[in-house]
Amino acid sequence: MRHEPRIVRLGQGDTERVVALHRRCSAHTLWSRYHRAMGDPGSYLGALLSRRGSVHLAVRGPSGRLVAVGHLMPDNGNAEAALLVEDAWQNKGLGTRLLDGLGRSAVEQGWGEEVYGLILAGDERMTAMLRRTGVPIRHVREGGVTTARAQTSDIAGVLFPQRGRLCRRRPVRAGRR
């Protein structure tokens, strides 16, 4: 029987597993997530995972180890979303699944007016992933970083288009209606 990767909730008790995930990621992947060099992940991940009001999701691979993580963190009445996917697991839709889960959490928990994320200039994979969500995104470029902002109401409209039904609307492709 094949076991598909599963999304699970994380807490402070999962710090060592998240540290292990970070240590398996390349310097490029970590730079894409944090936009700077970071010290030992054990020195900051405990505080991140215990941050009050935050939501932390992960993808657990078939072996049981964590292969991707997503965070939704309160920020002045809004929420910041961040993703990290282990190099060997990139381009398999795990970041998209985590982003959907974080979007659901933002809507269900009534998190402010906006959810935003920081993207390095030229990060085409993140840009493409956001485009595929079908949620209108406003991009604000400052230096080498783009802040991608989505209204929580727009996220709700895509994730919950009909009362009581959880489904995701696919974006309309050029030339199709």
Q: Residues 91-130: pLDDT tens digits?
A: 999 999 999 999 999 999 888 899 999 999 889 999 999 9
What was the pLDDT predicted at 171? 43
Token representation of residue 128: 């493409």
For the chain, list the domains and their CATH numbers. Answer: 6-159 (3.40.630.30)
What was the pLDDT predicted at 35? 85
Residues with Cβ within 8 Å of residue 43, at least 6 apart in sequence: none
What was the pLDDT predicted at 162? 67
In whole angstroms, give the CA distance from residue 91 to residue 89. 7
Token representation of residue 88: 């060997």
**pLDDT mean over 1-16:** 88
